[in-house]
Amino acid sequence: MFKHLNVADSFAALSSCKLCRRIALVVFIAILFIEGAILIPSVVNFERDLLKRLELEGFQTVQSIFRLASPDAEPSELLNAAVRQMKNSKLRGGVLFDQAGKRLGKFGEEIGPDYTPNSTTSMQMMETVAGQRYEIMWTPKSIEAPYFIIARLDSSWIGIELIAFVGRIIGLVFLIAFFVTSVTSIILGNMVLKPVLALRQNLLAAGADPTNPDRYKIENASKDELGDVITAFNLMTKRIGTDFHALEDKEQELLRSKILAERANEEKSSFLASMSHELRTPLNAIIGFSDVIKSEIMGPVGNRQYTDYARDINSSGQHLLALINDILDLSKAEAGKLVLSEDNFDLDDSLGSALRIIDPLAQKKGLIINVDLVENLPPLLADERRFKQILLNLLSNAVKFTPASGQITVAICISKTGNLVVSVQDTGIGISAEDLPSILEEFSRVENDQTRSIEGTGLGLPLTKLLIEAHGGQLSIESKYGEGTTVNFCLPASRLVAQAA
């Protein structure tokens, strides 16, 4: 159960709760509005009562005038008696008429001369001089005398009474509004505010510490909608805690699997990197001896079929050696054991050497290789063997995936920022947009009707990317399926050797 709030606690909580302040303000304004609606007719009724009292006092004063005078008194005597009565009453003036409506005289303050009463005129009362005076007429029948009299009465006190009345009512309204709002705040604090604040506090705490849902469980004995919300909150925190523990366990399991996979990959890369000599030595022997047999260096082997076999062995060995070299280079790069032998070399010579190797393959397919070099290229500070390997990988891919009679363009230039930019463009089969992200993944190949007949391991581009990044460069690929591919890579300007003028 929730601890009940006293008045001080309720107002303290109310001051810190925006919603509660709004509710209290609405209650306060509603009471003022209702009391204001009641006040208007109350003021009107009170004013009517005051006017009736004024009328009664005026009537009693007029009656006393006729009682004090003799029954056969002249109008002048009545007027003098009226003047005497003015001193101790609210009578301030008047006009006396006979029963025919003839004006007999006046006393006190002047009343308009245009008004002429008659026997059919009813008694009436009207406001004059901005509420400071009221004029009323009495008939002979009402005053039991053979005269009409129009009297002017002092009504200035009515405004004062009305202001005092309104002030008392407004004070009472504010007192009632404050009392009702205070009681509402106490009830609201104990029945709604306290559970809501506890719910908010526990919700924030449970969000910061979802692993301990029982710590933030709210005791609930309410059987209303708020109790349903609290019950739902308790169930939610318990479910979140259970799910969070399961998620943590899964995360730990995935983390362990990731660590094991990374460790296995590192061990694989380290193993392959350290196996370079063991793999290459016997393979070089196979290639070397097959080359001796193929070239008949030790003398004729007799049957020409033996030399053909030796040529096949040599070709397969060369292919296998290239594959092993790519795997070992990739493993070294992943293991962080790739060491660059950097030196200054001529870009034209390096590109020419790569083209001489690729040219026979291009001619065999009827491909045209275009070269676009800017003049006076400065020497490049890099690992020349690795740079040539990059060029060979890109050119061999272009030759491999470009159909007969296609074209390949190699361009080398210096960008506006001073970087070296190398571009290899072909008119080959191209790569679709959805396959572009995967071609830089190791052992990944794009599978379609045009690529199935083309041999490849999927190591060329990933290795090329690693070699370029080892030199501080970047590789990018642009391609459109069926139209061709452009591979660009750039090396930082710091690798271009400035030549003395």
**Residue 161: CB partners within 8 Å, gap ≥ 6?**
46, 50
Q: Which residue has the tokens 């303000």?
A: 25
Residue 452 has pLDDT above 50, yes or no: no
The residue segments making up the domain with residue 181 are 1-112+124-208
Please, which pLDDT band fits residue 434 given cuts at 50, 70 and 90?
Answer: confident
164-191: pLDDT as tens digits? 988 888 888 888 888 887 777 777 767 7
Residue closest to 50 by CA, chosen among 151, 109, 125, 149: 125
CA 245 to chain centre: 29
Count Cβ atoms below 10 Å from residue 180 Cβ, excluding itself. Answer: 14
Q: Which residue has the tokens 């970087």?
A: 419
Number of domains present in the structure of the chain = 3
Strands 368-373 and 407-414, bridge-based pairing: parallel
Does 393 lie in the same domain as 464?
yes
The verdict on pTM exceeding 0.75 is no
Sign of the alpha-carbon dihedral angle for 191, 196, 197, 203: positive
Does 371 lie in the same domain as 329?
no
Does 475 lie in the same domain as 389?
yes
119-163: pLDDT as tens digits? 444 455 565 555 678 888 888 888 888 888 888 888 888 888 888
Which spans in 139-155 are helix H? 140-143
186-226: pLDDT as tens digits? 777 677 677 777 777 777 776 667 666 666 676 765 667 76
237-247: pLDDT as tens digits? 777 767 777 77
Does 171 lie in the same domain as 50?
yes
In a domain? residue 267: no
Does 193 lie in the same domain as 320?
no
Sign of the alpha-carbon dihedral angle for 191, 193, 194, 196: positive
CA 250 to chain centre: 30
Choosing from 285, 312, 334, the residue where a domain stops is 334
Does 421 lie in the same domain as 330?
no
User: What pLDDT shows up at residue 54?
Assistant: 85
Q: Which residue has the tokens 């992943």?
A: 334
Residue 366 vs residue 193, higher pLDDT = 366
Residue closest to 466 by CA, chosen among 351, 344, 329: 329
Residue 276 vs residue 93, higher pLDDT = 93
Does 391 lie in the same domain as 305?
no
Please tell me which of 137-151, 327-341, 361-375 the model is most confident about, judged by mean pLDDT: 361-375
264-299: pLDDT as tens digits? 777 666 666 566 556 666 767 777 777 777 777 766
Q: How far apart are CA 26 and CA 232, in angstroms?
A: 29
Both structure tokens of 283: 């393979």
Longest dimension (CA), the chain: 182
In a domain? residue 260: no
Q: How far apart are CA 315 and CA 308, in angstroms?
A: 10
Q: Contact, 155 vs 116, CB < 8 A? A: no
- Average pLDDT of the chain is 79
